[in-house]
Amino acid sequence: MDIMILSADTVEGTRTQIEAGLNKIASVLGPPSWDPRKRGFVPGAQAAFAVVIDGDTLRHALTPELKPLFLNLGTQCETVVCCRVSPAQKALTVKLVKDGRNAMTLSIGDGANDVAMIQEANVGCGLLGKEGSQAAMSADYAFGQFRFLTKLLIVHGRWSYQRIADMHSNFFYKVLGFSIVFSCEISPHYRTSSGLSQCFGICHLTGWQQAFHFYPHH
């Protein structure tokens, strides 16, 4: 992996180093795709790149004129390491990727300085440990060790996806059945053909939800 270190004291110096990194990647992998769905990565590429940037340089990279360049560089790298940054800079970096690439972001942290980053991401994960419980209390998910993140994504993430898909299917067919029966109730032929219409309508309204949900769908 080729590591590129960004460290500059001025905006122009930061621009020069970011453009040099983009040119280096382009010379190996070719020009990046502007399709937001591809995220800038090249499938099956033989070369891999990483960026290391400090807090002072990141402050310049997050300015409006350099944000598109920094985002383009970061999304073409396998890893981006931001060292000695403030909590606000962590949150701004997450926001840059989330808004700039329209991506689903996840942040994980174990201390109070990670709260802003956790709350900015679409999914926030906090660790309970020596750094306290502030991160865990502000997160969507809390666990004890970093290694549990794999199980959260691969196992519980898939289960959550299946449950949401079943819920949407359940809701769709429930409303569809309710609409069909309700359309029969309000038809003139039905209302005048039987005296049981009122009784059936009340039973239908009160019992349809319970009957549909109690029925095993799997």
In DSSP notation, 73-113 reads HHTTSSEEEEES--HHHHHHHHHHHHHHTT---EEEESSGG
When mean pLDDT is compared across 101-110, 160-169, 200-209, the lowest value belongs to: 200-209
**Amino acid (1-letter code) at residue 65:** E
Position 134 in a domain: no
Total domains in the chain come to 2
Q: Is the pLDDT of residue 178 over 50?
A: yes
Q: What burial letters (b/e) apply to 18-54, b meaning 16+ CB within 10 Å?
A: beebbeebeeebeebeeeeeeebeeeeeeeebebebb
Ranges assigned E (strand) in the chain: 2-6, 49-54, 79-83, 106-109, 123-127, 141-143
Within this chain, do residues 81 and 161 fall inside the same structural domain, yes or no? no
pTM over cut 0.85: no
Query: Quick check: 39 pLDDT over 50?
Result: no
Mean local confidence (pLDDT), 90-99: 93
Give per-residue pLDDT as tens, 117-149. 999 999 999 988 787 788 889 898 888 888 888
The whole domain housing 64 covers 1-85
Pick the last residue of a domain from 85, 105, 121: 85
CA 140 to chain centre: 12
User: Which among 49, 66, 85 is the end of a domain?
Assistant: 85
Residue at a domain's end among 30, 50, 85: 85
Phi and psi torsions of 123, nearest 5°: -125, 125
* Residue 42 backbone phi and psi in degrees, to 5: -110, 110
Q: Is residue 123 part of a domain?
A: no
Q: What is the mean pLDDT of the chain?
A: 80
Residues 104-111, mean pLDDT to the nearest whole number: 90
Task: Please give the Cα distance from 199 to 105 (Å, whole number).
Answer: 52
Is residue 125 domain-resident? Answer: no
User: Residue 136: inside a domain, yes or no?
Assistant: no
In a domain? residue 94: no
